[in-house]
Amino acid sequence: MPTSLQPKILLCPTAMAGLLITARPSCAQELPAPSAANAKTISFASLLEEMTDREVLARWPQPFYSTGQSSSYDRRSKTEPQKHPFANNDKGHFLRVEQREGRREAVLLDAQGPGAVVRMWTANPKGTLRVYLDGAAQPQIALPMKAMLSDGALIASPLAAERAQGYNLYLPIPYARSCKITNDAGPNLYYVVNTRSYAAGTRVQSFSMADLKTQSAVLNRVQGALKSPPAYAGGRMQNRSASLLPGQSAEIAWSGGPQAIRRLSVNVEAPNREAALRSTLLMMEADGQPTVGVPVGDFFGSGVGLNPFRDWWRSVESNGRMTSHWVMPFQRTSVIRLKNFGSQTVRINLEAVADAWKWDDNSMHFRANWQQEGGLQTRPPRDWNFITIRGQGIYAGDTLAVVNPLHSWWGEGDEKIYLDGESFPSHFGTGTEDYYGYAWIDNRRFEAPFHAQPRSDGSQVPENARFATSNRGHTTVTRTRGLDGIPFRSNLKFDMEIWHWASIKNLTFAATTYWYGRPGATSNLPVVPTPASLVVQGVPEMFKIPNAIECEFMEVINKSPSVTARMQARWESPAWSNELQLSVTGEKAGDFVEVRFPAPRGGPHHLALHATKSPGFGLVRVMVNGKAVGGPIDLFHPIVPLREVTGPVDLGVFEPVNGFYTLRVEVMAPTDKRPLRPRFGLDAVVATPVQP
């Protein structure tokens, strides 16, 4: 879940030692002073215009800015890195707490020098968020955090919205001298703030609430464009349609630059389209250098399979057409190629539009890399490298396709982005889903201009009021960048922690990274992945007890008022059938739950209960069809924090009543000096027919 880092507005490793981030005169990568040629004024309106200018990321920024991130990440990762390298208490960590007008305000961000806030996120908005600009005693913005990061109070969607329980604000807030953001809600807040910092002397016009009215024309135009991203109009189109046998390729090419690819569309059809979208590789060259080598489904953000969605940079349609709006400049030549590395014939349609481009010393080539690793072990946690880049460029986004064998959550891991030789990352996050702009392991699909969850197999689990969210199967999440693009002068390293709730050995990550680089920039990944890696990793079969009737799917027909009963996904050790159990929490002795299930075939049946043993569990009494079953069953496990399964507990032979069996499990008071533990977990029942 969420974790954050101290605000790194300016990316100087030495500045990280303090709580107040200021301009970094002692840093080797100090921001250059703006030249007369770069002396434009940064304003609310100019940042809005930049947000919807697709050419901007393809040029080295003028005036230059560095990016930073402040978040609530667990500070032990910094203060005790040997002991707690993957600390996960990622909430309630602030720069400091101040007293103002009789209230306590926790400081989320304290940025010195000209800059801009370009993104905010939280999982649990609460309290009042205050934004103080340029040292003012009163905030320029003071709103309930939930309202400010939702549709309507400050700005409408899509610039502000809740998506899959993640609250996001993309409205730019420029400041000339400083910005402080505070919250008065107290502890346990998850937050991330992304910022830009400009060199001292850069002209920045600070945000005012009046800008929302005076710049309404620009604001409305940008909002409209983000809601309905336009396709590039003009230029020269080339297209190619072909049937590709295994090993064959088709391409289109340009010469006579400088030009830029402005729109790229691909459609791939095959008997097994899901496999074809992974085994058909999109390869590109610019000025004789390979720049892109990514499976087509992953390149367009779909991940595994065809998963329709739309953001500012890409769209995937249900008819199979996938379109990219990344601007891809070249000085002399460009080649776009599709190659079939699979075992089936694929039918492809390739279409691209190019137009003029003014090539100068600030121009950069578009790059995209991909890698997949299966069989990932989740214990101990570790950093998994998305990409390491050498050279100068701008990081522009990524797509992560995950194959998770269990219902339990795979994405506790934090992102760590190191820039220009940093020993500690200037971007340190609070959880994988937080990085992608949602929260609380929410498995609902969503789309937005700069982030989306196009696929989530867990969302297809049948609705059940007791169900704890499933994240089993394939998940695709993607985040692209605009104002929060990350410039780097010499290198960039992006790691994501592998941090799963369960200890497993078969997690799969496949990451696509999008970036712009000056000619000569390279990465640690092969531009063209190995053909053997271009396969869809299947979802491993779950463990199931033969002939099990799963307790988590049984109908709850009665329970004590104080009892909660819900599905629970496997966390650590117990090998639950179907990787789920029915978790029951009461308050006192006598609390109970009654469930019923249909008899498999007639009757009678020999019933065996499979349950869970845990340090938090105790004695229970079991009844079937109103009849007591033997003596108490002890579900206590003495070793913290482990849990174990009971194996089959013999309940005896019973006849169904009206075609059903009713199972009642009741908390019992302990018979020794142990404390009352009014909780238990029920895994499954096996009903074996008894011959008359």
- Which domains, and CATH codes, for the chain? 13-227 (2.60.120.1390), 232-358 (2.60.120.1390), 548-689 (2.60.120.260)
Mean of per-residue pLDDT scores for the chain: 92
Position 22 pLDDT exceeds 50: no
Query: Which pLDDT does position 24 carry in this prediction?
Result: 31
Tokens matching residue 165: 């329980």
Give pLDDT tens digits for 627-656.
999 899 999 988 766 678 999 999 999 999
Position 66 pLDDT exceeds 80: yes
Tokens matching residue 170: 């993309």
Distance CA(7)–CA(70), nearest Å, equals 3
Position 1 pLDDT exceeds 70: no
Position 38 pLDDT exceeds 60: no
Cα-based distances in Å from 323 to 129, 313, 420, 451, 520: 38, 8, 33, 16, 27
Is residue 76 very low, low, confident or very high in pLDDT (cuts 50, 70, 90)?
A: very high
CA torsion, points 443, 444, 449, 455, in degrees to nearest 10?
70
Does residue 630 sit in helix, strand or coil? coil
Distance CA(45)–CA(367), nearest Å, equals 29
Query: Which pLDDT does position 444 carry in this prediction?
Result: 95
Tokens matching residue 473: 């199967």
Distance CA(592)–CA(585), nearest Å, equals 9
Is residue 597 very low, low, confident or very high in pLDDT (cuts 50, 70, 90)?
A: very high
Alpha helices in 414-460 (DSSP H): 432-435
Query: Which pLDDT does position 546 carry in this prediction?
Result: 95
Tokens matching residue 143: 């709103």
User: Of 55, 71, 56, 127, which is closest to residue 435 (Cα–Cα)?
Assistant: 71
* Cα radius of gyration rounded to whole Å, the chain: 28
AA identity, residue 426: S
Tokens matching residue 295: 């499976």
Distance CA(512)–CA(419), nearest Å, equals 19
Query: Which pLDDT does position 673 carry in this prediction?
Result: 85
Q: Which helix (H) or strand (E) segment is 509 a member of? A: strand 507-517
Give 628: exposed, middle or buried? Use CB within 10 Å, 0-12, 13-18, 19+.
exposed
383-395 per-residue burial string, b: 16 or more CB within 10 A, e: under 16? bbbbbebbbbbbb
| Contact in structure between 408 and 570 (CB atoms under 8 Å) | yes
Query: Which pLDDT does position 10 carry in this prediction?
Result: 29
Is residue 670 very low, low, confident or very high in pLDDT (cuts 50, 70, 90)?
A: very high
Does residue 457 sit in helix, strand or coil? helix
Position 21 pLDDT exceeds 90: no
Tokens matching residue 387: 């990409």
Position 466 pLDDT exceeds 60: no
524-561 per-residue burial string, b: 16 or more CB within 10 A, e: under 16? ebebbbeeebbebbebbebeebeebbbbbbbebeebbe
Cα-based distances in Å from 635 to 572, 606, 612, 645, 647: 17, 22, 7, 9, 11
| Percent of the chain at pLDDT exceeding 70 | 92
Position 40 pLDDT exceeds 60: yes
Give the pTM. 0.89
As a whole number, mean pLDDT of residues 521-549 equals 94
Largest CA distance in the chain: 97
Position 460 pLDDT exceeds 90: no
| Percent of the chain at pLDDT exceeding 90 | 85
As a whole number, mean pLDDT of residues 296-317 equals 98
